Each structure stands twice: as structure tokens, then as C-alpha cells.
Amino acid sequence: MSQTSPRYFAVKVTVGQERNVARIIESKIVREVIQDGKIVGREIAVEGVYAIITLPNIKGYIFIEADSKEKVSLITQAVRHVKSRSALVVKKEEIMQHLVEKPIIETISIGDMVEIVAGPLRGIYGRVVRIDKPKNELTIEPADAAFPLPISISADQVRLAQQASRGGS
């Protein structure tokens, strides 16, 4: 057998069952070592499989880093909720762009227009007037309000609608 560099494979699974399938596959790859009725360690049962990745924003797929497609087929065989037998080769760059996500508060600055996407004020647009990074909180003034009414809201509940113009003109 020739030594090849590990590749990433996408395995189609039932939507919502990604974590369960990953745990089942992990139990096939790694075995617990039991001594005197206690778990004392873990050992690898299947060589050539290095990582199982579930991405929260990609539903219906798990990603497995392995040496070959045959290893992936072997460990996904007879696993409930696995939809396809053949695993698709995926480029590392395609997975990496989903792994490192910048917090929304890092991309927003004062003067930007944001839309509230969660909570009772959903659908309201407003201009950012203050940013509190330690609290992960924004203060916005609704765009359609008759008078300035500052609203403090979690940065997780907004999306950037339009950046403020930044320039010297």
C-alpha cells in the first residue's frame, strides 16, 4: 500500500442527523480501553482516518479526513442515516472557508446599516451608533423612527445590510 496524503470526503446524511452519524462513526474508529471496569484510555481501531467534521451551516453532509475513499466507505458502511454509499472528494479550501468564521461584531462599524433578523423587532433596519464588543452588543437607531430611539441588541441578532461609506470625500 502506498502512503498518500489525507484527503477530505463529503458523506451525504439525513438532515439533522449529522452529529449522531459523526458519533457513530467515531465509535467505529476509536475504541475505549477498559481495565477493572474503568475506562483508562482510547485506542484507534481503524488506521487512516484522521478527522470527522460537521459544519453547522452545511446541512445534510459530514466531512471525513482520510487516506482513501475505501476507508470512508468502510467506516460508513451499515451506519444509519448515511444516504449515499460513495463519498465525494472535497478540496481542503472549500472546508476551511467554513471553519473560521469571523464574529459579526468584527465586521460591523459605526454608521453601518443593519437589519434585525431575530427577536420581536425582526425586519427593522437601523444605523449603528455604538458598538460594545465585550458585551457583543450594538446600539442602533431605527431608520424609520420619527425621533432618535436607541435600541441595544445582541450582535448575533443582526445582519449587515449596508456598510457606511468610508472615504475622504
Which superfamily does 7-99 belong to? NusG, N-terminal domain (3.30.70.940)
d(CA 38, CA 146): 67
HSE-up of residue 147 (Cα within 13 Å, Cβ side): 0
Mind listing the pLDDT tens digit for each residue in 26-35? 998 988 888 8
pLDDT tens profile 110-157: 999 999 999 898 999 999 999 999 999 999 999 888 888 899 999 999
Helix, strand or coil, per DSSP, at residue 76: helix
Query: What are the extents of the domains in the chain?
Result: 7-99, 104-162
d(CA 3, CA 85): 24
Q: What global pTM score does this model have?
A: 0.58
Pick the CATH number of 104-162 from 2.30.30.30, 3.40.605.10, 3.30.420.40, 3.60.90.10: 2.30.30.30
Helices (H), strands (E): how many in the chain? Answer: 4, 11
Nearest CA to 91 out of 165, 8, 10, 5 is that of: 8
Contact residues for 109 (Cβ-Cβ < 8 A; gap 6+)? 128, 131, 163, 164
Strands (E), the chain: 7-12, 30-35, 38-44, 49-53, 61-66, 88-90, 113-116, 125-132, 137-142, 151-154, 158-162
Name, of 5-9, 39-43, 150-154, the range with top average pLDDT.
150-154
What pLDDT shows up at residue 169? 45
Q: Return the closest-CA partner of residue 62 out of 32, 35, 98.
A: 98
Residue 36 CB coordination number (10 Å): 5
pLDDT of residue 168: 47
Count of CA atoms in the C-beta half-sphere (13 A) of 31: 8
Q: Which amino acid is at 75?
A: I
The rounded mean pLDDT for the chain is 87
Confidence of residue 53 (pLDDT cuts 50, 70, 90): very high
Q: Binning pLDDT at 50, 70 and 90, where does residue 63 land? A: very high
pLDDT bracket for residue 1 (50, 70, 90): very low
